[in-house]
């Protein structure tokens, strides 16, 4: 199984809502990532978990809160988002946390903040 799954595929939320994005992989990978991608732009790294510990936080606002319950799951909790947070949110995993590890990406969650 070389698949990274993400749910939901689409999400519309108001600025006062709380929601969560979910990501799952069963490849035994020990590093997992959250990226944000705006239209016609490259993915921007948000968070990296390595061996279930948060190792990189790219100065992401606190309204985004990541969680790694176990080595197969990664969540992104959303609260009080702004319309400019509307984007495609991509999850990825890699075998380890080294720069030369191939990353496997999920299909993404298309988030719209109204």
Q: Which residues bind other proteins (CB under 8 A)?
A: 4, 31, 33, 42-45, 48, 50-51, 53, 55-56, 88, 90-92, 94, 96-108, 110
Distance in Å, CB of 114 to other proteins, minimum: 20
Residue among 113, 11, 19, 114 at smallest CA distance from 64: 19
- Of the pair 71, 101, the CB lying nearest other proteins is at 101
Starting from the edge strand earliest in sequence, which strands make up the sheet with 64-70, in order?
A: 4-7, 18-25, 73-79, 64-70
Distance in Å, CB of 36 to other proteins, minimum: 11
Residue with tokens 């991608």: 37
């Amino acid at each position: 199984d070389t698949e990274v799954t993400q749910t939901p595929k689409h999400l519309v939320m108001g600025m006062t809502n709380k929601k969560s994005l979910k990501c799952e992989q069963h490849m035994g990978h020990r590093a997992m990532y959250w990226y944000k991608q705006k239209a016609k732009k490259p993915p921007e790294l948000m968070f990296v978990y390595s061996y279930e510990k948060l190792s990189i936080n790219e100065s992401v606002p606190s309204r985004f809160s990541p969680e790694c319950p176990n080595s197969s799951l990664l969540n992104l909790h959303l609260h009080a988002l702004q319309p400019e947070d509307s984007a495609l949110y991509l999850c990825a995993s890699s075998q380890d946390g080294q720069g030369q590890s191939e990353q496997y990406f999920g299909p993404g969650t298309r988030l719209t903040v109204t």
